[in-house]
Structure 1
Amino acid sequence: MSAESHTVWGALRRDRGGIASLAVLALIALACLFGPMLSPHPYDRVFPDYVLTPASLAAHPTPSERDESVVTLAMRMHASVHLDMRSDGLVAVVTDDKPIDIRVLRALGRSGVLQPVDAPAVAGDGRRLEQPVTLKSEHFLFGTDANGRDLLTRVLIAGRLSLAVGVLASAVALGIGVVYGAIAGYLGGRTDALMMRAVDIIYALPFIFFVIVLVVLFGRTLVLIFVAIGAVEWLDMARIVRGQTLSLKRREYVLAAQALGASDRAILTRHIVPNMSGPIIAYLGLLVPRVILAESFLSFLGLGVQEPLTSWGILIADGARNVQSALHLLVFPALLLAITLIAATQLGEALRRAADAGRT
């Protein structure tokens, strides 16, 4: 690590806002990484009895949900079903006008509310079955979506994908932009002019049109998101690195290295690129939220990942479609995305201030 990058990190540690933003991002990343592993609900599990359940700290089922589940069971069994609370526990009583096939009790095992706990008791005429049951206790802190899936787990899974895209696509943009800009700035002349005109041409391409063409050619895949975002976001990095390279290649230590016969590759990797690490780190802090927002925008338009995988953009799009009947579907993913973008932007600004302090 160069002396300038040491100065940047030292200045960042003295910036309380930057440290607070870094802590918030770390907490969100840890929650998205380990939260789904600790959740009792897989992100793709469907709870048919809890569709569009609002966010709550209370346990489910509520009395009304329990009654609705009993009505649904009665329809599946084509019999009369009611719950009887006795001294030894809860019993599901199934009655019918004709003898009941005991196999109809399999519907109880598929219920999301009731859980059979013992062998059923059958009345002498076969028209009455008694099945001891317990209530399955579930918690949905963020509620459920239109398919009955736990929104909390899906928000964390979506955050894992969105953050991964933000970090990896930014790393790709960083690698391409640094190499491209350093070569263009160091070689200069016609090579520099030709390389930068190529950057201007790519800049002129409409981003959404470019993504639509890729979707038509290759389909909607996670790799496509990296390619589409990485193919655009490296352009600004290349311009920044080129400008820094034009300034640094006239410094005395670079001229001394050239006089000693150092190769162009050695000069770039040992003298020029390490000494522009401050501006690179500062811009990278601003690039990550841009990439996360771009991925969310693509997913919002339906050009991102496919189900059952999800991202914040997909969840926000689902929430926007159900905003009148289920506001929680929009609030929680949008809130987490907003907090992440604000924290990442503030961290980028702190890195920029630290880089400016390192140059003074």
Structure 2
Amino acid sequence: MNEAFRNARSFAERLSALGLGAGGGSVQISLAILALIALLCLFGPLVSSHAYDRVYRDYVLAEPSLSAHPDAAEVALAIETIARRMPARIEALRVDGDSLHATLFSDRPIDARALRAFERSDVFSAPRIVETQDGGRRMRIDAPLKRTVFLFGTDANGRDLLTRTLIAGRASLAVGLLASMVALFIGVAYGAIAGYAGGRVDAAMMRIVEIIYALPFIFFVIVLVMAFGRHFALIFIAIGAVEWLDMARIVRGQTLSIKRRDYVVAAQALGATAPAIIWRHILPNAAGPIVAYLTLLVPQVILLESFVSFLGLGVQEPLTSWGVLIADGARNIQGAAYLLVFPAIFLGATLGALQSLGAGLLRRFDAKSD
């Protein structure tokens, strides 16, 4: 039994060294998912045929589909709308491939300039007059159709949901990374100083952390919005001003443990300054837990930004984030559930991958510490 256990443990160690164990596999899969989402959000809008803020008035709440728009019903609705504006009546209507053949009739001669309504439509391109009869009151036209595909459908304003989801990913990931970097720098510096100083300095600095912990985050965000207005940079300030607290406590704990090591005591005996010891000895040896917690901090910040945007205090139109899209989807869930599903999938996949990455790194660090 002991021999079998040793063999199994040796095999697991070899797998872990190759990155194929439970922790290694989860880390690799998480990195692959995050890389895929980041590439889609970064380059997807560049190759998309739809601008994130373009409004398709003829395709409001169009359902997700692999088929190109318009269909027969959309063509009929669009030309009826144009005919009423001209004003004219539709005598004949036929769709042949990518062209519309229609005959319009009016009680008065039809002004050819009224056909510009076709060009302003999202369904038709510039029409061609084939024939006019009855003194210009009857007109036959051919209008090419604009073929458009909405893989994720469109929102309540007629904007392409796929492009907006990818643009929202840029905003959410940017907030997550930048606010996490702010929390990293502040938390690491604060925690290292408090832990290395110890004594009354450490106690006073930790009491400040506890006081800030007691402040309601949403109240802090509302105060910033009332004082400075709604701005994208306020999200970084608000989230970064709160999320460094946990990082500071983690770094402080690591510093209290590391500063008692022999190499730190030797550096002190040789006359090394406190900043030099913190920079050269303490922080490099505390890098494992810091990096592991940072991967857990990013999803926490993204979720917090999504919650703030859900309340209407975060990213503002025409920009968007996953939180904003989820809020819009929640308002239209009965009639258009896809508005909630697609942004939620991207957000859930990102949060899950980051959580799995952080857990895998923590397992690796704990294994090395044993």
Superposition TM-score, scaled by structure 1 size? 0.94
| 1:197 shift after superposition | 0.6
**Aligned amino acid, residue 324 of structure 2:** I
Give the structure 2 partner of residue 228 of structure 1. 238
Cα deviations by residue, 1:330-350 (Å, 9 ceiling, x for unpaired): 111111111111111011100
Cα deviations by residue, 1:237-286 (Å, 9 ceiling, x for unpaired): 00000010011111111111111111111111111111100000110111
Superposition TM-score, scaled by structure 2 size? 0.91
Matched positions, count = 354
Q: Of the candidates 30, 44, 49, which is equivalent to residue 53 of structure 2? A: 44
Give the structure 1 partner of residue 145 of structure 2. 135
Give the structure 2 partner of residue 77 of structure 1. 86
1:348 and 2:358 are equivalent in the alignment:
yes
1:254 and 2:252 are equivalent in the alignment:
no
Give the structure 2 partner of residue 4 of structure 1. none
Distance in 2 between residues matched to 1:215 and 1:8, nearest whole Å: 49
Contact 2:52/2:167 (8 A) holds in 1: yes
1:62 and 2:71 are equivalent in the alignment:
yes
Contact 1:155/1:312 (8 A) holds in 2: yes
| 1:124 shift after superposition | 6.0
SS of 1:91's partner is strand
**Aligned amino acid, residue 35 of structure 2:** A
Give the structure 2 partner of residue 269 of structure 1. 279
**Aligned amino acid, residue 28 of structure 2:** I
| 1:8 shift after superposition | 11
Residues 230, 12 of structure 1: alpha-carbon distance in 2 compared, 3 angstrom cutoff: farther
Contact 1:41/1:150 (8 A) holds in 2: yes
Give the structure 1 partner of residue 223 of structure 2. 213
**Aligned amino acid, residue 230 of structure 1:** G
Residues 11, 255 of structure 1: alpha-carbon distance in 2 compared, 3 angstrom cutoff: farther
Contact 1:9/1:354 (8 A) holds in 2: no
**Aligned amino acid, residue 100 of structure 1:** I
Q: Which moved more, 1:10-19 or 1:222-231?
A: 10-19
Q: Which moved more, 1:266-275 or 1:72-81?
A: 72-81
Give the structure 1 partner of residue 36 of structure 2. 27
| 1:127 shift after superposition | 1.2
Contact 1:8/1:354 (8 A) holds in 2: no
Q: Which moved more, 1:104-113 or 1:84-93?
A: 84-93
Distance in 2 between residues matched to 1:258 and 1:121, nearest whole Å: 96
Residues 213, 86 of structure 1: alpha-carbon distance in 2 compared, 3 angstrom cutoff: closer
Residues 83, 114 of structure 1: alpha-carbon distance in 2 compared, 3 angstrom cutoff: farther
Distance in 1 between residues matched to 2:333 and 2:124, nearest whole Å: 31
SS of 2:166's partner is helix
Distance in 2 between residues matched to 1:203 and 1:62, nearest whole Å: 56
| 1:95 shift after superposition | 1.9
Distance in 2 between residues matched to 1:9 and 1:242, nearest whole Å: 33
| 1:77 shift after superposition | 1.4
| 1:122 shift after superposition | 3.6
Give the structure 2 partner of residue 90 of structure 1. 100
- Relative CO higher for 1 or 2, CA cutoff 8 Å, sep ≥ 6? 1
| 1:93 shift after superposition | 2.9
Cα deviations by residue, 1:192-215 (Å, 9 ceiling, x for unpaired): 111111100000001111111111
SS of 1:116's partner is coil
RMSD (CA atoms): 2.1
Distance in 1 between residues matched to 2:212 and 2:234, nearest whole Å: 17
Q: Of the candidates 21, 26, 29, which is equivalent to residue 17 of structure 1? A: 26
Contact 1:8/1:351 (8 A) holds in 2: no
Give the structure 1 partner of residue 8 of structure 2. none
Cα deviations by residue, 1:114-155 (Å, 9 ceiling, x for unpaired): 112546644361212333211111111111000000000001
For structure 2, list consecutive stretches of 5 or more residues without a partner in the other structure. Answer: 1-15
Cα deviations by residue, 1:210-236 (Å, 9 ceiling, x for unpaired): 111111111111111001110111000
**Aligned amino acid, residue 175 of structure 1:** F
Residues 196, 120 of structure 1: alpha-carbon distance in 2 compared, 3 angstrom cutoff: farther
Contact 2:192/2:252 (8 A) holds in 1: yes
For structure 1, list consecutive stretches of 5 or more residues without a partner in the other structure. Answer: 1-6
Contact 1:28/1:340 (8 A) holds in 2: yes
Residues 89, 295 of structure 1: alpha-carbon distance in 2 compared, 3 angstrom cutoff: closer
Contact 1:279/1:352 (8 A) holds in 2: yes
Give the structure 2 partner of residue 278 of structure 1. 288
**Aligned amino acid, residue 56 of structure 1:** S
1:161 and 2:171 are equivalent in the alignment:
yes
Give the structure 2 partner of residue 317 of structure 1. 327
Distance in 2 between residues matched to 1:338 and 1:351, nearest whole Å: 20
Give the structure 2 partner of residue 305 of structure 1. 315
Contact 2:109/2:136 (8 A) holds in 1: yes
| 1:189 shift after superposition | 1.2
Contact 2:118/2:127 (8 A) holds in 1: no
Give the structure 2 partner of residue 292 of structure 1. 302
Cα deviations by residue, 1:163-188 (Å, 9 ceiling, x for unpaired): 11111111110010000000111111
